[in-house]
Amino acid sequence: MKNAMCEMFGIEVPIFAFSHCRDVVVEVSKAGGFGVLGMARMSPERVREELRWIDAHIEGRPYGIDVLMPTTYQDFGGHKFDAEQLFPRRQLEFVRTMLDEAGVPPLPPDEAHAIETALVSQFNFTPQESAEMIEIAMEHPIKLIVNALGSPPPSLVERAHARGIKVAALAGAPKHALRHKQAGCDFVIAVGTEAGGHTGHVTSMVLWPRIVDAVAPLPVLGGGGVGRGRQMAAALALGCEGVWCGSVWLKTAQSEVTPEIKAKMFEAGSEDAVLTRSVTGKPCRTLRSRFTDAWDEPGAPETLPAPLQAILWWGQGRTRVERARVKDFLTYPVGQIVGDMTEETSVRQVVYEMMSELVEAKDRLNGVVG
């Protein structure tokens, strides 16, 4: 294909893959697309390890990183962790009682404390933490830095451009996209509510053309509900220069999800990708479970603000649930395309099928409009 994004990065197809899994990043880039490694919750040591591995396996293909650069944050650094003090008693007991009554075995106290202490550090998103990650990343041949939390700071844009690195940011509304353009982003990623993870409330069909018009002539990638060629065709028809995909890679053999979660995804429908605050404290589309449902029941407490709710779920719930393999409580961020995810495949096959279906959609449209 020939368009702005393919020319910008020297890639064959404008399929941008967001993933926390280095294997997916490498395989997408090797298949002609562009892999982007999500670095949330990674330590500096882990960032170095992941990027070194990618460099050794990607065969010179371009790739990028996705980082969290918050403008507002709560700094937990330097605080000794104590669940009884960090969490309000009502929310803490709500989670503990829920899992106890379901027969989910608790973790040994020392292990639970160690996990939660580590989580406090991992969720300690500060500008200093982000800057350290970016410094490490710039030691590697990355071609793109994406900010998942607002517009990137001018200093970052300037430094990245000086090194030939492109900069982009996610947007869930035209006003956000305009801020990204003013900040100097090279393109904008318009993400509709169908997307997995943190997302807004406007559908891709409505959002994409609005952002395309708002930031023209800046290129736009369409994200949210994209996992097939027909959806890619829709994005291109609405003015996008490519697509941003995340959930579709979870069904591949290379993805990071456990076999139990993958099996649950294969049984799920699109309606099972629910928008909830129960796992992070912010609206996050994730796989429906008894945990997500419990917070919507009458008498349930209010969810905690981010990142406390995420630490509560990961520390008091997720590790217990995944270790015991209790299917009803398993959840994972995933978009509404989960309804199309019915069996395991490979990253390369996903790219091939998307491009084949894109060609079919184009031929069908040509036949209709002449």
pLDDT in tens, 141-186: 999 999 998 999 999 999 999 999 999 999 999 999 999 999 999 9
User: Omega of the bond prior to 305 within 30 degrees of 0, cis?
Assistant: no
Q: Which tokens belong to 327?
A: 């299917």
What is 4-73+126-252+346-361's CATH topology?
Answer: TIM Barrel (3.20.20)
Residue-wise pLDDT tens digits, 55-104: 999 999 999 999 987 655 555 554 555 677 788 999 999 999 999 999 99
Residue type, 232: M
CB 351 within 8 A of CB 15: yes
Of all residues in the chain, the percent with pLDDT exceeding 90 is: 81
The tokens 């959840």 sit on which residue? 331
* Number of C-beta neighbours around residue 294 at 10 A: 16
CB 250 within 8 A of CB 229: no
User: Quick one: pLDDT band at residue 130, thresholds 50, 70, 90?
Assistant: confident
Residue-wise pLDDT tens digits, 324-361: 999 999 999 999 999 999 999 999 999 999 999 999 99
* Number of C-beta neighbours around residue 301 at 10 A: 14
pTM over 0.75: yes
Residue-wise pLDDT tens digits, 23-37: 999 999 999 999 999
Q: How many angstroms separate the Cα of 150 from the Cα of each of 10, 68, 190?
A: 27, 9, 12
Mean pLDDT, range 191-207, rounded to an integer: 97
Could you state, in order of their start, the residue ranges of all structural domains in the chain?
4-73+126-252+346-361, 83-122+255-329
User: What local confidence, expressed as pLDDT, does residue 41 receive?
Assistant: 80
Q: Which tokens belong to 7?
A: 């020319």
Q: Which tokens belong to 322?
A: 């995944």
